[in-house]
Amino acid sequence: MAQAGGYDKSFKAGADLNTTTSDFRPVYINSSGSVIVVNSTTQKPIGMLQNRPKAGTGASCWVRSVGYSKIYMNDTCTAGDILVTGAGGTIRGTGLSITAATSRFAIGTAVEASAASGTVIEML
């Protein structure tokens, strides 16, 4: 569904996403075709969770795959930084040392700065 800030698609939740630790987090499609919050650098994000769905596995959730979204940051960044997934599903700015042994998936560009871990910022 087209929204003012992007494109949202409905998926079934593969876990209980009605939690504060799911808000504005990247999600991936699991082997059952449901979405779960990214918690590893090897999981490929498909977009950002936009709602807090009804509690329980199988609940309908909205994922934004294109456009502007809020994102929960676990790092500092400046506007214009490319944002990537980090260990434990964290979202990191690009001032990182990325080695061949580390997988990271780019998920967007910071539209505003994050001065501290635990902030919510806008991303494109």
pLDDT band at residue 60, thresholds of 50, 70 and 90? very high
In this structure, are residues 57 and 36 in contact, taking their beta carbons and an 8 Å threshold? no
Q: Which amino acid is at 41?
A: T
Q: Which two tokens stand for residue 103?
A: 């997988």
pTM of the model: 0.85
The burial of 66, by beta-carbon neighbours within 10 Å (0-12 exposed, 13-18 middle, 19 or more buried), is given as middle
Summarised one tens digit per residue, pLDDT across range 3-59 is: 567 789 999 999 999 988 888 999 999 999 999 999 887 889 999 999 999 888 899
In this structure, are residues 116 and 93 in contact, taking their beta carbons and an 8 Å threshold? no
Q: In percent, how much of the chain has pLDDT > 70?
A: 86
Summarised one tens digit per residue, pLDDT across range 79-101 is: 999 898 876 667 877 655 555 55
Q: Could you tell me which of 2, 9, 94 has the C-alpha nearest to residue 46?
A: 9
**Which pLDDT value is given to residue 67?**
93
